[in-house]
Chains A and B, each alone.
Chain A
Amino acid sequence: MELFDVFLLEAVLNGLLLGGLLALLSLGLNLVFGVIDVIWICYAELIMIGMYAIYYFYVVFGWPLLLAMAAGVLLVAAAGAALHQFVIRPVLAAEPINQLLVTGGVLFFLQAAATLAFGIEFKNIGVSFPPIVVGEISFSMPRLIAFGVALAGMLATYLFLKRTYLGTAIRAISQDRAIMPLMGVNPGRIFIVTSALGGALAGLASCLLVLQYDIHPAIGLSFGPITFLICVLGGLGNMVGGFVAAFIFAQFISVGGFFLAVEWGYVIAFVFFIAVMFWRPQGIWGGK
């Protein structure tokens, strides 16, 4: 195989791996928006909290890594439920702009609180894996793990939404909130469960990111905007659209970065995003 082709293939495969991770990130945000109709601007800051939690559980408290991660997921799920109960619920009937502002406020609050509590220095859990080499192509182990776990997490979420009573109610409530009580469903409870599930997905993402990235109070800014753009690209609230858009976006970043410089990958991806917004402002698979 030509050397050029090997590197291109490697870029495509790395884009695929990145796509899985981005798809997981967008799923939580899309789920919450699709059901509650509120955008968690502070979504990536929940991921930051999860990363710090795993760091403290694993490095400082010395828990086993998997236990630390499980505790991190539970903690962020609880944070998601708390975010709904104490921040979103009071403004559920308010103007969308007010809802954006309160969740945006939570973003800055969490960033500032993390800076105060944990300092600005970068932290790392110090777990490293050797790269996996297949023929002439090498993969990073954390990325492969992230891809596999992200797919498993999304499949589990899909089965939950499709098979269970609660999952069906979560899909139903986004279609007709007003008649849910006639089914014996307490809409407030469904919102809490959905928020906890969105939080758990953010927690799962933090488990995967903590293997690849250093932790600092502004880490959310590395993922928040891109997650939001992917959701918009796929049609906000459309979970399948977000899934596909994540893989498209990741290919632009990865392959675009291959042909030019790495930073250009993001530029190309964002140019693609802007072009799509002119063509379909509601997103590629958006209905409204």
Chain B
Amino acid sequence: MSTAAATSAGGDMLRLGEVSAGYAGFQALFGVSLEVRSGESVAVIGPNGAGKTTLLRTISKLIGVTSGDILMEGRSLKNVPAHEVIARGIAQVPEGRRLFARLTVEENLKMGAFLPAARPRHAERLKFVYSLFPRLEERRAQIAGTLSGGEQQMCAIGRALMSGPKLLLLDEPSAGLAPVVVQSIFELVKRICAEGYTVLIVEQNIRQVLKVVDRAYLLETGRIKSSGPSAELLASDEIRKAYLGI
């Protein structure tokens, strides 16, 4: 199943063309264009309030697109309601993990397999998620709200993987975690990428995330300011001065 994610390697997976979006009376994204190719890991970096979370919520259709278009494997998401985006192969790990706190770990993972198309492969994917995160298997019957922050992030990622996505959206996976845990979360993201998943990750922790992904876009006040391979951005003066404090 991890290999299925890497078929048609190099092809276009997700493409945003001049996408504007926002909330009532407040525009957060201004003509954002970006693309994610199959098998790639891409980050969107930028300061607090740049519109990074809004960007992922727009791709998941939790927020309406006011202009521009989002294409998933060449097909528009324009008239797709939020609850059908996941059936197109896009799963999101939301900011703050948002587990169902009073359900068990296994029930949270079950919710990830809610899609009728995902149900026949529930057992198989559960095994895969447990092989990826053995800690979750140990805690399968535990109430999710009692997990540690790092375990909750594993559970949230596992939940998203249960649908067998082609594209995984990760929203600030390191946010709100203890510094020692942050490191292990990036290790985790690295492993997900190595499994062949196509990943679009949004992060404030710029130095760390650039070590993990192939390419990145810099988002500032709702506009793409620059983009390029991670190593190039890490070395660029713009990033070093403004965000890495060097």
Residues of chain A whose beta carbon lies under 8 Å from any beta carbon of chain B: 165, 168-169, 171-172, 175-176, 178-187
Q: At the interface, yes or no: B241 with Cβ under 8 Å from chain A?
A: no
Q: At the interface, yes or no: B65 with Cβ under 8 Å from chain A?
A: no
Residues 78-98 of chain B, each 1 if its beta carbon lies under 8 Å from chain A, else 0: 000111111100011010001
- CB pair B103 A175 closer than 8 Å: yes
Of B81, B100, B101, chain A has the most CB atoms within 10 Å of the CB of B100
CA distance A181 to B86 in the complex (A): 8
Query: Which residues in A have their C-beta under 8 angstroms from that of B101?
Result: 175
What is the distance, in angstroms, from A237's C-beta to the closest C-beta of chain B? 12
- CB pair A168 B86 closer than 8 Å: no
- CB pair B84 A184 closer than 8 Å: yes
What is the distance, in angstroms, from B56's C-beta to the closest C-beta of chain A? 10
CA distance A181 to B107 in the complex (A): 17
Query: Which residues in A have their C-beta under 8 angstroms from that of B98?
Result: 176, 179
- CB pair B83 A165 closer than 8 Å: no
What is the distance, in angstroms, from B216's C-beta to the closest C-beta of chain A? 24
- CB pair B92 A172 closer than 8 Å: no
B94 nearest in chain A by CB position? A179
Query: Which residues in B have their C-beta under 8 angstroms from that of A182?
Result: 60, 62, 82, 86, 91-92, 94, 160
Q: List 12 A-B contacts (CB under 8 A).
A: A165-B113, A168-B107, A168-B114, A176-B98, A181-B60, A181-B61, A181-B83, A182-B91, A182-B92, A182-B94, A183-B83, A184-B83
In-complex Cβ contact of B114 among A165, A171, A175 (8 A): A165
Query: Which residues in A have their C-beta under 8 angstroms from that of B103?
Result: 168, 171-172, 175
In-complex Cβ contact of B100 among A172, A178, A186, A187 (8 A): A172
Q: How many residues of B contact A (CB 8 A)?
A: 30
In-complex Cβ contact of A183 among B61, B62, B102, B111 (8 A): B111
What is the distance, in angstroms, from A278's C-beta to the closest C-beta of chain B? 28
B90 nearest in chain A by CB position? A182
Query: Which residues in B have their C-beta under 8 angstroms from that of A180?
Result: 83
CA distance A103 to B111 in the complex (A): 31
Nearest first, the 10 A-B pairs at minimum CB distance are A181-B82, A181-B83, A184-B115, A184-B86, A186-B83, A172-B100, A175-B100, A183-B114, A179-B98, A183-B111
Query: Which residues in B have their C-beta under 8 angstroms from that of A178?
Result: 62
B98 nearest in chain A by CB position? A179
CA distance A230 to B3 in the complex (A): 54
- CB pair B81 A186 closer than 8 Å: yes
- 19 additional contacts (CB under 8 A) given A168-B114, A175-B100, A183-B115: A165-B110, A165-B113, A165-B119, A168-B103, A171-B100, A171-B102, A171-B107, A172-B111, A175-B101, A181-B82, A181-B83, A181-B85, A182-B60, A182-B92, A182-B94, A183-B86, A184-B83, A185-B114, A186-B83
Query: Which residues in B have their C-beta under 8 angstroms from that of A187?
Result: 83
Q: At the interface, yes or no: B163 with Cβ under 8 Å from chain A?
A: yes
Residues of chain B whose beta carbon lies under 8 Å from any beta carbon of chain A: 60-62, 81-87, 91-92, 94, 98, 100-103, 107, 110-115, 118-119, 159-160, 163
What is the distance, in angstroms, from B200's C-beta to the closest C-beta of chain A? 14
Query: Which residues in B have their C-beta under 8 angstroms from that of A171?
Result: 100, 102-103, 107
A171 nearest in chain B by CB position? B103
Query: Which residues in B have their C-beta under 8 angstroms from that of A185?
Result: 83, 111, 114
Query: Which residues in A have their C-beta under 8 angstroms from that of B118?
Result: 184
In-complex Cβ contact of A168 among B61, B82, B111 (8 A): B111
Query: Which residues in A have their C-beta under 8 angstroms from that of B102?
Result: 171, 175
Query: Which residues in A have their C-beta under 8 angstroms from that of B86?
Result: 181-184
CA distance A172 to B98 in the complex (A): 11
CA distance A179 to B94 in the complex (A): 8
What is the distance, in angstroms, from A244's C-beta to the closest C-beta of chain B? 18
Query: Which residues in B have their C-beta under 8 angstroms from that of A183?
Result: 83, 86, 111-112, 114-115, 159
B101 nearest in chain A by CB position? A175
In-complex Cβ contact of A176 among B84, B100, B114 (8 A): B100
A179 nearest in chain B by CB position? B98
Query: Which residues in A have their C-beta under 8 angstroms from that of B111?
Result: 168-169, 172, 183, 185
Of A169, A171, A172, A185, chain B has the most CB atoms within 10 Å of the CB of A172
What is the distance, in angstroms, from A288's C-beta to the closest C-beta of chain B? 13
Query: Which residues in A have their C-beta under 8 angstroms from that of B92?
Result: 182
CA distance A82 to B61 in the complex (A): 28
B169 nearest in chain A by CB position? A182
What is the distance, in angstroms, from B36's C-beta to the closest C-beta of chain A? 18
B160 nearest in chain A by CB position? A182
What is the distance, in angstroms, from B71's C-beta to the closest C-beta of chain A? 20
What is the distance, in angstroms, from B55's C-beta to the closest C-beta of chain A? 15
CA distance A182 to B60 in the complex (A): 7
B110 nearest in chain A by CB position? A168
